[in-house]
Structure 1
Amino acid sequence: MNNILTGKSSDRAQRELHLALAGLNRLRLTPCLPEEDGAAGLDLPRLLAEEAGFLRSLREQVAPIAAQAPREPAAFLAWFEELEQTGPGQHDSLFLWLAHDASREAMCWFLEQEAAGEAGFEDLTALVQVRMPTRPKLELARNYWDEMGHGREAGMHGPMLAHLVHALGLRSQSETTVWQSLALANTMSGLACRRHLAFHAVGALGVIELTAPGRAAMVAAGLKRLGVQPDDRHYFDLHAVLDVRHSATWNAEVISPLIAEDSRRAPAIAEGALMRLECGAACFRRYRDHLGLK
């Protein structure tokens, strides 16, 4: 593996890069008035080129494995679903520790990092669905509607995480976040914002749905053990269950028909999934290092 996510000698450069890209993503995704456009003070061509270079390097890192993915829909789904067991970062020991042993201070630090690296699944889904074929587009719409609480503010998933952050008194800021977590969010935003990487984004979002339930259940167990109230930890309790169904429908209604229509999309979807998993694995390694775990 090259050092795009692991090279310690470049930590300072990586941090500077991903703080800059986090600023780019805030700028291009946050609504504003023309006179409030912050782009005037940024070197946008340079930032976009740096983002493209980062995403290209990450693609090159995973491409040899992604190329092995089958191009027939059923066989591809079998390969894809196996990532839950064998993919990078899966069943990391960090999560058993969070469930059974982590102190409240350690759990809060972990949650600060995770919240800062949250790119907004509902917004990414909305970006990805643009001009997708009808069947995948409809499933992306159903997933988005679930993320949006079926039109009820109390059921929206994003504010549930914000509620937990507020309830625990956390301060989630880019400046105090490890660069690996920023890189994860920047990867997701970059894939969703670039239409030539839209199928990569489908794979990256799909693998989140596939792999999140087990981790969410462990975090929820840790929060319960530490005395966090059910209403406050509901975000993780919910995703430990709901994402199982989301994963099944994403695979059947988004990934399968996309590959059936054009088998060339299979390696792109596979690359996106592996990019997301590699970013997650890098986060878990960095978290364990900070927390003094092996």
Structure 2
Amino acid sequence: MADNDEEHQHMRIFLWHVPRTISTALTKCLSFIDGMEVWFECFTYCHMAKEQYILFTGEDLPMEYEGNEETMKQAASTLGSVVGGKVEADRIMYGNIKTKMESSTSKYQLVKEGVVSLSDDKVWQYLPKGFKHVFLIRDPHTVFSSYRKALYNHLVSVGLRKGDAADEREFDLKKDDILVRNSNEYFSMMHSIWKSVRDSTDPDPIVINTDDLLANPVEVLQKFCHLTGLPYSDSLLHWDSAPDITKTWKVASDDTVEKAVHLYGTAVTSSQFLPPKPPISKDRLSPDALQFAKDSMHFFEEMNKFKI
């Protein structure tokens, strides 16, 4: 028993995802494991702060907090208007986040991040060491259909689409995504990071097609726990539907999850993995979502060959 306990000490998992791959529901599920510490999209907020600061000032944002406090306050204020909540200045610096992640002494540590967060060569150096890497993928048609609707509704809810722009027919992922400059690069970024991780950090990262997770959670969760060293029990199949557990997550903004109801609302009130819905008909996809799915399919299909 002692050897088994020692084996699971400081188990660290880095969970990479593209939008709408059930990542938040899986994070909530795993949050109930005793001793689990969750970092929720902290690097993603660093990325958004960097992008918004360049957009508004034309200047690069520093990577370290010390000595750049006033600049970071300005960046935090700018990002807060985009996400619809107060952002803490010392929580959107790559250097700060990396140091805090690596110094954690929790028994289990789960870091959930969008692939946009560390896709830039300039910030790759801030990838924390000592983690098992997991990549969540899903059919791009499902991803972009769902993401387009969720992102549009979020931008309307925080007041960033008004007047004519509030017409959903005017929304276009090609130009209106606040996270990346080109949404069709989500899967190519994930594929690139997956290859980089295999070559330099974790030669055998885990790939999960989350439609498999929805269709057969017992099998997928058992495999996942075996490969990561997390303890499996049937309690992972059902959890408390209340969103209270999300208050324990480490975030860049204390109301990150609460404010982004159109992005996270269903997941944070979930209590189990529900069977996947039938695949969406391609003729029902908007032109931008259809094109992005087409652009992404090659990367999805290659990674899908390695799914557990």
TM-score of the pair, normalised by structure 2: 0.26
- Give the number of the structure whose residues are more often helix, by fraction: 1
- Give the number of the structure whose residues are more often strand, by fraction: 2
TM-score of the pair, normalised by structure 1: 0.26
